[in-house]
Amino acid sequence: MGKLDNDIIESVPRQSTNSTKWDKYHDDILPMWVADMDFKSPTPIMDALHHRVNHGVFGYTDASQALQQAIIQNALTRYQWSISGNEISYLPGLVCALHLCVRTLTENGDGVVVPGPVYQNINKPVVDSGRQLHTVPMVLIDNRWVPDMDAFEQACAQANSKLILLCNPHNPGGTVFTRQELLAMHTLAEKYNLFVVSDEIHCDLLLDEGLQHIPFASLNDDAAARTITLMAPSKTYNIAGLGLAYAIIKGNTLRTKFNKAKSGLLPAPNLLAMAATQAAYSQCQTWHDALIKYLRKNRELIHTRLADTQCKMAKLEATYLAWIDVSHLNLEDTEAYFLAQKVAISPGKQFGNSQFIRLNFGCSHQLLEQALVRLLPAL
């Protein structure tokens, strides 16, 4: 597909590479579904991987001081959040960590409060473990998706509620929660004495200048003591296939509980993932800046093309995932409808609202334009 954006962002063909995204459908279907970009990872990451592979030994490997420092520095530089090495717990992925958190912090039948529609792997650990899901509806305020705070308090006040699962930035709504919004959520967590698990995997994909990602645990000492923060470089640097995430846990009691539950159950990340993560956080700022500019152009292209349709898309502040209201079509099966147009989207039913679709625009301008040309007549 060629190089893009001053030769920094490069989109490459992915067919026949065992790509979950590209190989699920026939070649005539454009895959705009799973949260996986088509861009080649930054050169420093590839160089770090080549260097490690050339060493030729792939034995048991511990996280290095350099990796730890890269994560600490990333948190300080990007979020003005001071963390220490002993507060980092390395993980082979974020989804398994969500399951571990739910099973560690709650008991069978306990209630878990989740603002939604939301990424399906936040709800799934609750349902799979026999916990009770208390869904808080997201509402549009100033064209941004935010939780209905009255409903939020009602859910937190339920006698069996023990945990809040938060997605910040929100997937699929694309909202970057403000400090005031997060403080309102924290007030409820403190009032009803609930743990908080905050999935912040999209925190480095803020699309507008002036926006600031605020980790929930950074709000104050109480938030720090009751929160497990989950982060990963996978979405931002397109290295999900390598498998590395990490939990940041300030509270001593909470950290001990989590690490004990993790021990012997979840393996450490592999050595290549560690090398890639260190390079991502310490050497890829130029690439990251170019990526944000490129994704911003794609977001504006979607807004422009949807302007003459009845589809609505709220303000998308983060991620490369467009959450589009297609309720005017009155569809029973949105996935099948758009597959007939040769475009694979993520149906909103997966997230909790069947009247929406989620469209992945982490691709070349050309591919996005091609997908929109196919979609627009159907919209």
Is residue 9 one of the residues assigned to a domain?
A: yes
CATH number of domain containing 258: 3.40.640.10
What value does the mean pLDDT take over residues 106-121? 97
- Residue-by-residue DSSP string for 179-223: HHHHHHHHHHHHHTT-EEEEE-TTTT-B-STT-----GGGS-HHH
Distances (CA, A) of 107 to 98, 112, 158, 161: 15, 10, 15, 10
Decide if pLDDT at 302 tops 60.
Answer: yes
Residues 140, 16 within the same domain:
no
Decide if pLDDT at 2 tops 80.
Answer: no
168 is in which domain, residue-wise? Answer: 55-283
Q: Using alpha carbons, select from 179, 233, 224, 172 the residue that is nearest to residue 203.
A: 233
The pLDDT of residue 5 is: 53
Residues 168, 243 within the same domain:
yes
Residues 182, 320 within the same domain:
no
**With the CA atoms of 133, 164, 96 and 359 taken in that order, what torsion angle do they form, in degrees rounded to the nearest 10?**
80
- Residue where a domain stops, chosen among 243, 266, 283: 283
Cα 174 to Cα 113: distance, rounded to the nearest angstrom: 19
CATH number of domain containing 370: 3.90.1150.10
Q: Are 376 and 343 in contact (CB under 8 A)?
A: no
Residues 251, 302 within the same domain:
no
Is residue 229 one of the residues assigned to a domain?
A: yes
Distances (CA, A) of 234 to 110, 238, 326: 31, 5, 29
Cα 79 to Cα 24: distance, rounded to the nearest angstrom: 37
Distances (CA, A) of 155 to 52, 181, 254: 49, 17, 23
Is residue 49 one of the residues assigned to a domain?
A: no
Residues 202, 222 within the same domain:
yes
Residues 273, 349 within the same domain:
no
Query: Crossing angle of helices 65-79/271-283, nearest 10°?
Result: 40
Coil, helix or strand at residue 3: strand
**pLDDT for 313-346, tens place per residue?**
999 999 999 999 999 999 999 999 999 999 999 9
Compute the half-sphere exposure of residue 74: CA atoms within 13 Å on the CB side of its CA: 26
Residues 297, 268 within the same domain:
no
Is residue 50 one of the residues assigned to a domain?
A: no
Mean pLDDT of the chain: 96
| % of the chain exceeding 90 in pLDDT | 97
Q: Using alpha carbons, select from 175, 118, 167 the residue that is nearest to residue 146.
A: 175
Is residue 48 one of the residues assigned to a domain?
A: no
Residues 271, 293 within the same domain:
no
**Could you tell me which residues come within 8 angstroms of residue 135 by beta carbon, excluding any fewer than 6 positions away?**
114, 115, 116, 123, 155, 352
Cα 5 to Cα 87: distance, rounded to the nearest angstrom: 38
Q: 124 phi and psi, to 5 degrees?
A: -60, -45
**pLDDT for 82-106, tens place per residue?**
999 999 999 999 999 999 999 999 9
- Residue where a domain stops, chosen among 232, 250, 283: 283
Is residue 104 one of the residues assigned to a domain?
A: yes
Residues 66, 37 within the same domain:
no
**Could you tell me which residues come within 8 angstroms of residue 55 by beta carbon, excluding any fewer than 6 positions away?**
none
Coil, helix or strand at residue 353: coil
Residues 278, 307 within the same domain:
no
Tokens of 54: 């050339």
Give how far the C-alpha of residue 222 lies from the chain's centroid of Cα atoms, to the nearest Å. Answer: 25
**pLDDT for 3-61, tens place per residue?**
555 469 999 999 989 999 999 998 899 999 999 999 999 999 999 999 999 999 999 99
Q: Are 235 and 201 in contact (CB under 8 A)?
A: yes
User: For the chain, what is the domain count?
Assistant: 2
Cα 338 to Cα 331: distance, rounded to the nearest angstrom: 10
Tokens of 178: 């403000």
Decide if pLDDT at 265 tops 60.
Answer: yes
**Could you tell me which residues come within 8 angstroms of residue 175 by beta carbon, excluding any fewer than 6 positions away?**
144, 145, 146, 169, 315, 317, 318
The pLDDT of residue 26 is: 86
- Residue where a domain stops, chosen among 254, 283, 312: 283
Residues 225, 180 within the same domain:
yes
Residues 190, 212 within the same domain:
yes
